Amino acid sequence: MTVQGLLPVSCLRTTICTSGWKTFRNGFTSCVTAGCKLKAFPVRDPVYVSKYRKIIPERRMPIMKLLVVDDEYLAREDLQAVLRECLPLAAVLTAGSGQEALELCRSSQFDIAFLDIEMPDMSGLKLARKLMELKQNLNIVFVTAYNEYALSAFKLYASAFLTKPVRKDEILDALQHLRFPLTSKENGLYIRCFGKFEVFSKGQPVFFKRSKAKELLAYLINLQGVSANVNELCSVLWEDNGTPENQKNYFRHIVGDLRRTLASCGAEDILIHNRNSYAIDTEKTNCDLFRYQRQEPDAVASYRGEYMNQYSWAEFYKVE
């Protein structure tokens, strides 16, 4: 058995106690704080890691998938940026050639394909025909600098024909007039860990009354279903600021805020409370981190080395 996912750089949970850790010859690591029973184990040891990391079963999340095909790198990046601005929850993959696009479509189902027309190895018109053979209800949007292809594009029953550079309002208009209308895939809660940590509900950013409530959710997501007690959570949220008693009193308000925020999104059941510990129900949580662990292509493509950028404790973790 191998364990993939988010693990501390050196060992499990080494950021819980800042007083110091002691490493023994057998590879075990233990906190040296008097009375502390916390232990951590080497990342690469699957026997011990499996005790503390819940192995998430395979499942698929309903999320809109978009494909951008253009032989010019900057053109792909520009269109990808506009699409992410219009649809922050969508998975946007890119391909630099028709052949690469076909390979992606054979391994993953896309809702919309944005195709450049003039490409060296295979024209966008020819590629569109091949893509529609793979998926008949695929929406095709042509993006090109040449207006003379418009008639040929619409003969293929394209959903839209856009000229470069593409504006946000043009994308939004095209989405309203797709040949194959999309069922809503952005209802419910979606949590993004890659880059800056953000939470969305029905495609819109979720407002948190207290920033610490959002950070609490981030840390619990970071633990991937592993429970954390109140002492650990207070240590992460406030470090050495304030007395333990004040931290715990304020923590109760933070938890209350988080519960109310999740309830307003219809997702209150993702937070698990057991005695003095809290955890996230990974089975009920739509999150790019969890999808990355299952090696879903769109989630893998969305990770660019950045993880929960706004939180200092996240620097001690890495995505594997």
Q: Do 138 and 160 lie in a common domain?
A: yes
Q: Do 95 and 119 lie in a common domain?
A: yes
Q: Do 221 and 297 lie in a common domain?
A: yes
Q: Which of 116, 149, 176 is the last residue of a domain?
A: 176
Q: Do 28 and 74 lie in a common domain?
A: no
Q: Do 246 and 171 lie in a common domain?
A: no
Separation of CA 91 from chain center: 9
Q: Which of 68, 59, 107, 109 is nearest to 87 (CA)?
A: 68
Q: Do 82 and 193 lie in a common domain?
A: no
Q: Do 214 and 252 lie in a common domain?
A: yes
Q: Do 120 and 220 lie in a common domain?
A: no
The parent domain of residue 192 ranges over 187-319
Cα(288)–Cα(272) distance, integer angstroms: 20
Q: Do 135 and 216 lie in a common domain?
A: no
Cα(80)–Cα(96) distance, integer angstroms: 13
Q: Which of 104, 56, 129 is nearest to 289 (CA)?
A: 56
Q: Do 312 and 192 lie in a common domain?
A: yes
Overall residue count recorded for the chain in this entry:
320
* In-domain check, residue 59: no
Q: Do 197 and 301 lie in a common domain?
A: yes
Q: What is the pLDDT of residue 150?
A: 66
Q: Spell out the residues 6+ positions from residue 217 whose beta carbon is closer than 8 angstroms to its own.
A: 191, 199, 258, 280
Q: What tokens does 208 get?
A: 């948190």
Domain count, the chain: 3
Q: Which of 152, 176, 200 is the last residue of a domain?
A: 176
Q: Do 205 and 310 lie in a common domain?
A: yes
Given the DSSP bridges, would you call strands 6-8 and 317-319 parallel, antiparallel or unpaired? Answer: antiparallel
Q: What is the pLDDT of residue 212?
A: 97
Q: What is the pLDDT of residue 153?
A: 62
pTM over 0.85: no
* In-domain check, residue 60: no
Q: What is the pLDDT of residue 206?
A: 93
Going from the C-alpha of 14 to that of each of 22, 226, 276, 283, the distances in angstroms are 11, 15, 21, 26
Cα(40)–Cα(23) distance, integer angstroms: 10
Q: Which of 145, 176, 207 is the last residue of a domain?
A: 176
Q: What's the CATH number where 97 sits? A: 3.40.50.2300
pLDDT digit string (tens) for the chain, length 320 residues:
233 344 333 333 333 333 343 443 334 344 444 444 444 433 333 333 333 333 223 333 346 889 999 999 999 999 999 998 888 878 899 999 999 999 999 888 899 999 998 899 899 899 999 998 888 788 999 998 877 766 666 666 788 889 889 999 899 888 888 887 765 444 478 899 999 999 988 778 899 999 999 999 999 999 999 999 999 999 999 987 878 889 999 999 999 999 999 999 989 889 999 889 999 998 888 898 988 888 776 677 778 889 999 999 998 887 87
